Structure 1
């Protein structure tokens, strides 16, 4: 590295996913000179291999689910024939357009884009291997936003053929006759829902004793009931011993000795941080026991280096990464000096049924020595849920000293309630606050109002 070939920026961001994008844009708006480095496709995992393609798939097939629901009441009949190759083509069109838009937005803000692999050289320089050779970059501050990737336990690694991870399964162009989901969390449930709509026979193997194991137990119960109605086979509290592929199918063996076969297996057992080749050994960054980059209360990983989004393991969510990225850009620009605070974190599971969570759950309050109080409303009484013939589910409000401290919901379309629920928790609404606004009728939103006004009981 020689000085005449070195370019300098106030801020260099490695990774162009939601966190890196938000950080770079906010920093440029704050008047800093900014560069962003990306070794793969612009937009990171969320745009290319996560949030966006999965929601595109679920949105395109929602009509299949709604037709099935209406047909149970003998209101509609017929069939919908999915075209997976066409859907894959549509996915690429949407993603390409989004990547082009992202590139243009960087140009408009004067953000320099370096497409290549970054390696930390020392405390103030990185080297980027571009297609036409290396480029040395000096930085005032460095933000690591390299995200996460699917992870698997030893012996359960995907082979890219019959055994797939959440990246590989998104590229299938043939509908599998059967699919085993190893993991009943968010990723498994959402992708399982998509393939179930295409006609694939679904089996779920979950090591813990319930689906969506980190959600409210009543949410897990409702999701399981609806999956069983659609003939999903649920093997809960079961651990996988081994996986292997043959020319005809994938074979899974449980620790109990039971053997299962399917066209494909999706390994959805979690995600781990990505920093291979980054040269963390050249920095003072350290890892926690899970392998994520340790940060302080300002999201700083070392002098002049910050780690945001999935990389620090605080919340593996695109919106969490964006929020952290904007905060770090403001810290670097001197716009704030306060420690980072996310506020109530909204969580969603998409598909059918959807679920949301923000703030505390009853078990969280008990762990804090508090006595949870709950009010609840069944979506069976909501006219919009009834209109869609998808009235299963509920909204649950958690109270502490007369103030809302948590909202959980499961059912048709409840993801559309998440921002309102987040405001309710963030602002610690009381009963009186529910009457400050007019709630439109008929809407799904008013189910929140009915849940707030319902009788409160200790749980």
Structure 2
């Protein structure tokens, strides 16, 4: 048995782990980075970047469909599925290459290949050293440990017996060609992004949701609007229970129950996009001395990433807080800094929450969510809104769909957050999240410049409505607000 003693051991070399490793090293700690799988982050390999490549191809196809409405007529549209997926894989590999170049700069003595698990609070056992599945094994005694093991797509037991056609988003980006048909299970960010992109590329797509959720939205008015907008283009099924899935030749027969009625349809693939599961089940956490939550994830302080009062820190998707790259990077920096200088543990920089689904229109939330603001015991808040249906620049671009709702604090007038399904919402989200983090008031935001004609003029309309409702001390209640759902 090989033995190694270090100041900090980081388990996982994804975004959070790489940032944590570098932060701990900068603190002067002798640090090792342990990875049991392929190098290359979730974002680069199977997440942010390959999905946006597929979406970009879908947008090009959609613009051809939309062109006649501008009076522009092209020839017959032809989608070369093999070429689409070849570019996705080629550019995906390029992005992964950038990550691998960064890994190559890490000294070999600091990289450990294998699967780590706790055998005691300060002791890790690493099996499969140097990539060998049955390697000799290594024991690492670490004064501090960072868990940054990421997450994997959740697999549904009801689909387990249907064979190879049941896939996750990780599998999509290795396709050699576009399929004929796909059932997408889940209306979260991944399910909606991939579902809409595939549909625009000519794939027959049906999307099924157990409830009425749409991406990360919690505002019932925006949620209802999002369901309406997306249903114009997608075959969306809310309140749908998956009953069974069976392989029949080259297809899968998927049976669902909606409103008490059972229906079956045939698909080439069934794509599971019903969330992600933290990779903590094989870490031997029962030997770590840590208190665990009901999901098996160690309890931790989101300001410091410290698990209880222990020497262990947790970062990125592994803590199941918000599985997006910017948050993983921030988690890793905080965890690595604190592990490196332990026991001098300090709160790190937590930015204003900002999430985006790159559907069209974009679905974006930022700052305090509607759900958080309406939690029991929270003070009342004012709401402003704008529909993009008649917003000038949106109509010019034939993207005049969606709604923005903005929230403000009574008395102080401080801007609190927003939820939207909106054209160019990814840009609006950045603008408004900066305002939240700067603690601007609604009046201060209305003093800022707004050009004409731009989509952001819709933001001004919503802010004016919000300012009016703050001044009068109440917001108009929308009938849709009473009954959340789609």
Question: Same fold by TM (over 0.5)?
Answer: yes
Cα offsets for 1:387-446 (capped at 9, x unmatched): 432121232211112111111221222112222221212233213322554344444344
Given the two structures, how large is their TM-score scaled by the length of structure 1?
Answer: 0.89
Equivalent of 2:305 in 265, 277, 299: 299
1:62 maps onto 2:69 in alignment = no
1:72 maps onto 2:72 in alignment = no
Structure 2 counterpart of 1:364: 372
- Cα gap change, 1:176 to 1:330, in 2 (>3 Å): same
Asked whether the 8 Å contact 1:29–1:109 carries over to 2, the reply is: no
Equivalent of 1:319 in 315, 322, 326: 326
Separation of aligned partners in 2, 1:386 and 1:29: 51
Separation of aligned partners in 2, 1:443 and 1:146: 42
What is the Cα deviation at residue 73 of structure 1? 4.1
Cα offsets for 1:200-241 (capped at 9, x unmatched): 1222221213544743233333332233322x3222112111
Cα offsets for 1:360-411 (capped at 9, x unmatched): 3444333344333222233345554334321212322111121111112212
Separation of aligned partners in 1, 2:315 and 2:380: 34
- Cα gap change, 1:317 to 1:428, in 2 (>3 Å): same
Separation of aligned partners in 2, 1:80 and 1:115: 48
Q: Point out where structure 1 has 5 or more consecutive residues left out of the alignment.
A: none
Equivalent of 2:32 in 14, 35, 44: 35
Structure 2 counterpart of 1:331: 338
- Cα gap change, 1:220 to 1:389, in 2 (>3 Å): same
- Cα gap change, 1:391 to 1:248, in 2 (>3 Å): same
Structure 2 counterpart of 1:254: 256
Equivalent of 1:374 in 372, 383, 406: 383
Cα offsets for 1:28-54 (capped at 9, x unmatched): 333333321222222332221222211
1:394 maps onto 2:391 in alignment = no
Cα offsets for 1:144-193 (capped at 9, x unmatched): 11111111332223756222222223322232222222222222111101
Separation of aligned partners in 2, 1:158 and 1:346: 38
SS at 1:344 equivalent: coil
Q: How many residue pairs align between the two structures?
A: 455
1:114 maps onto 2:112 in alignment = yes
SS at 1:385 equivalent: helix
What is the Cα deviation at residue 325 of structure 1? 1.0
What is the Cα deviation at residue 107 of structure 1? 4.5
Asked whether the 8 Å contact 2:280–2:297 carries over to 1, the reply is: no
Cα offsets for 1:258-305 (capped at 9, x unmatched): 222222211222221113443323322343222333224532236322
- Cα gap change, 1:70 to 1:385, in 2 (>3 Å): farther
SS at 1:37 equivalent: strand
Asked whether the 8 Å contact 1:106–1:113 carries over to 2, the reply is: no
1:281 maps onto 2:290 in alignment = no
Cα offsets for 1:8-45 (capped at 9, x unmatched): 43322111222112212222333333321222222332
Given the two structures, how large is their TM-score scaled by the length of structure 2?
Answer: 0.84
Separation of aligned partners in 1, 2:454 and 2:150: 37
What is the Cα deviation at residue 76 of structure 1? 4.1
Separation of aligned partners in 2, 1:187 and 1:360: 22
Separation of aligned partners in 2, 1:85 and 1:11: 45
